[in-house]
Chain A
């Protein structure tokens, strides 16, 4: 995929950072992974994929058989982009390599929301890029159905490196579902995913990412968003299935007045899972707002739930909420909420609570005739049900579906 001519500056910065340890999370020896995988054939009709793979994708919200409720589709397996399509005017879906060839201006967005020399993972994605997606809503376009993008690892022990750029042009509205998955029994693998989001003036971007990796897979997303005046960025992240480790700390910068960001995260860590995730928001423009909500459950794994909101402009408002349930003797949840106010006029708050299910609540439901297990399940279901303001109904249904599938396995 080396048709893309990289800017010399980015390349130099990346090369210097190839050994740079990540600021957070366990370090990963990249030489332990393979950089090559067999090519997967492009499919004009993605429903022709093997049914097992389609089923794995369906669990993360990617529907290939009936795409009538999707405005576009992108599928990448290992290093190969096997399908891209857009079915509504005003929306563009293509591989990032093609987009870089098509649009010279894309250079201006490349590594702007995320620094190329953040750590060895960003550097690796620059130097050895596999591919990734480019999704764009044209100015004023209201994209009714969600665009779906799937990043899938099938090759054993592959380090998959993608770089995605998502642009919501002025006054546009677009919803994206990204589903990341592997073959269910994947013994090992590494996913490095760079995502840069640009939400222009008055635009609204809803991004829902559902992860379904395997117990041997490590995941290192590096994401950044820049939100302009009156722009809205709604980001939802769901990871409820076993995974060796995920470390990510996306940052959203509100650079335009009255920009709004909301991060919602639903995490479940079974034994063996290490999730170090969080969301960071920099409220740099007057009247911008942020809300970060995380619901985390451990059934034996470890979760670090981070959150950071910094307010450096007048009349900004931010709230951070992190609630964690420990459903096993051995799980760990470490909530780290941080607020930084740099001006008298900022209004920042947080609430965090970690513990087991309140016995009083269980008994209350038992007094209505539910068994202890039924009562616990009902409370956990409720806990995982985050009411996400502004989420379109189709997406809410998709999200609910993803949560429900995993919920059943909790008990």
Chain B
């Protein structure tokens, strides 16, 4: 699904990522760990194709296409989607219109309405996008947009941050749906999740984990083991881990 080869990325004239290699197979979900400022969000933004994040070396291959030079919207239309941790407020644009935009040319208004209800988003559909939304509402809004967009590869930036214990189960359920975790086989979706706390792993199964430190991948192993090791040895331990 996604293959990243020797990727280096700079933003604001500063190199943030160096020589990243990563492979996510179809149907797989991987997680990214790492201390603040290690470059996790930068990696997601570079995969999504935000112009501020310049790829200086390496390639990104998605579903067999070299998308290194593809624009942000081209990548979205090819099937990459992203949930934002702090999305901007878009005054005047209603959630309803935003969600319709995610539908693209497909027409399935009824399903969208049902989905919105299930996500407790019914009341928010006539509000301006993200305007006055609580942390939990932003998460649900992002997931609703992605569920409608149906990307093949979903990039999630800290989906559990700012979500209370009651809502985290709902968020987890939505992510599982997004990543087709209910399907035992023939899954076509893949995911890459940034997590600080690892709480999301209690709800969403991920196969592989990476630890990003100072812009390079220092560790790559089973996601659970990765989390346990961080809990035990801290990121310093990861820095010396060669597994």
Interface residue stretch chosen among B27-35, B96-104, B171-179, B198-206: B96-104
Closest residue on chain B to residue A370 by CB atoms: B101
Q: How many A-B residue pairs have CB under 8 A?
A: 65
Secondary structure at the A interface, as helix, strand, loop or mixed, is helix
Does A9 interact with chain B (Cβ within 8 Å)? no
Q: How far is the CA of A381 from the CA of B94 in the complex (A)?
A: 11
Interface residues of A (CB under 8 A from B): 358, 360-361, 363-372, 374-375, 378-379, 381-385
- Contacts A378-B101, A382-B97, A382-B128 given; indicate if A367 touches B76 (C-beta within 8 A): yes
Q: Is the CB of B98 within 8 A of A363?
A: no
Q: How far is the CA of A358 from the CA of B88 in the complex (A)?
A: 9
Q: Is the CB of A383 within 8 A of B92?
A: yes
**Candidates B73, B92, B145, B149; contact of A366 at CB < 8 Å:** B73
The distance from the CB of A84 to the nearest CB of chain B, in whole angstroms, is 38
Size bracket of the B interface: 20 to 34
Interface residues of B (CB under 8 A from A): 48, 50-51, 71-73, 76-77, 81-82, 84, 87-88, 90-94, 97-98, 101-102, 104, 128, 145, 149
Q: Is the CB of B48 within 8 A of A379?
A: no
Q: How far is the CA of A360 from the CA of B91 in the complex (A)?
A: 13
Q: Is the CB of B145 within 8 A of A368?
A: yes
5 closest cross-chain pairs (CB), A and B: A382-B92, A382-B93, A369-B76, A366-B73, A360-B88
Closest residue on chain B to residue A368 by CB atoms: B102
Q: Is the CB of A382 within 8 A of B91?
A: yes
Q: How far is the CA of A382 from the CA of B88 in the complex (A)?
A: 14
Q: Is the CB of B82 within 8 A of A363?
A: no
- Select the residue from B71, B73, B102 with max chain A CB neighbours within 10 A: B73
**Candidates B50, B87, B92, B102; contact of A369 at CB < 8 Å:** B102
Q: Is the CB of A365 within 8 A of B51?
A: no
What residues on A are CB-neighbors of B73 within 8 Å? 366-367, 369-372, 375
Q: Is the CB of B51 within 8 A of A363?
A: yes
Closest residue on chain B to residue A358 by CB atoms: B88
- Select the residue from A358, A364, A382 with max chain B CB neighbours within 10 A: A364
The distance from the CB of A174 to the nearest CB of chain B, in whole angstroms, is 28
Q: Is the CB of B82 within 8 A of A384?
A: no
Q: Is the CB of A369 within 8 A of B88?
A: no
Q: Is the CB of A378 within 8 A of B102?
A: no
**Candidates A361, A367, A374, A384; contact of B48 at CB < 8 Å:** A367
What residues on A are CB-neighbors of B93 within 8 Å? 378-379, 381-382
What residues on B are CB-neighbors of A385 within 8 Å? 92
Q: Is the CB of B92 within 8 A of A361?
A: no
The distance from the CB of B85 to the nearest CB of chain A, in whole angstroms, is 12
Q: Is the CB of B72 within 8 A of A382?
A: no
Q: Is the CB of A368 within 8 A of B98?
A: yes
What residues on A are CB-neighbors of B77 within 8 Å? 369
| Residue contacts A-B, CB under 8 angstroms, 20 given | A360-B88, A361-B88, A361-B90, A365-B101, A367-B84, A368-B81, A368-B98, A368-B102, A368-B145, A369-B76, A369-B149, A370-B73, A371-B73, A378-B97, A379-B93, A381-B92, A382-B90, A382-B91, A382-B93, A382-B94
